[in-house]
Amino acid sequence: MATYINEPVLSSEKVQENMSKVLIATLYSPDPVLIAANKLGPDRLVLLVDKEPSKEQEKSLELIKSSLGRVIDVKVVKTEVYDVVDVARKAVEVIDMQPKEDEIYINITGGRKTKAIGLLFGAYARVSRVKKIIYYPEEKDTAPVFLPKLGFNLTDSQKKVLEYIEEGTFKTLMELSEKIELSRAMLYRAVRELEEMGLVEDLKLTDAGKIARL
- Residue 206's domain is classified under what CATH number? 1.10.10
pLDDT value at residue 2:
36
130 DSSP 8-state letter: E
The reply to whether 9 and 77 lie within a common domain is: yes
Q: How many domains does the chain have?
A: 2
Per-residue pLDDT of 8-45, as tens digits, reads 444 444 444 578 999 999 999 999 999 999 999 999 99
Question: DSSP letter string over 79-105?
Answer: E-SS-HHHHHHHHHHHHHHS-TTSEEE
| 75 has pLDDT over 60 | yes
Look at residue 206 and tell me whether its pLDDT is greater than 70: yes
CATH code, domain carrying 68: 3.40.50.11700
Q: What is the pTM of this model?
A: 0.86
Choosing from 147, 169, 199, the residue where a domain stops is 147
Do both 170 and 205 map to the same domain? yes
CA–CA distance, 76 with 30 (Å, rounded to integer): 14
The answer on 112 and 9 residing in a single domain is yes
pLDDT in tens, 80-100: 999 999 999 999 999 999 999
81 and 115 in a single domain? The answer is: yes
pLDDT band at 139 (very low <50, low <70, confident <90, very high): confident
Residue 184 belongs to domain spanning:
156-212
Strands of 123-170, DSSP E:
130-135, 145-147
Four-point Cα dihedral 87, 30, 96, 198, nearest 10? -30
User: What percentage of residues in the chain have a pLDDT greater than 70?
Assistant: 92
Could you give the CA distance from residue 150 to residue 213 in angstroms, rounded to a whole number?
15
Residues 208, 128 share a domain: no
Integer Cα distance of 68 and 53 in angstroms: 19
Both 166 and 142 in one domain: the answer is: no
Single out the residue in 147, 166, 201 at which a domain terminates: 147
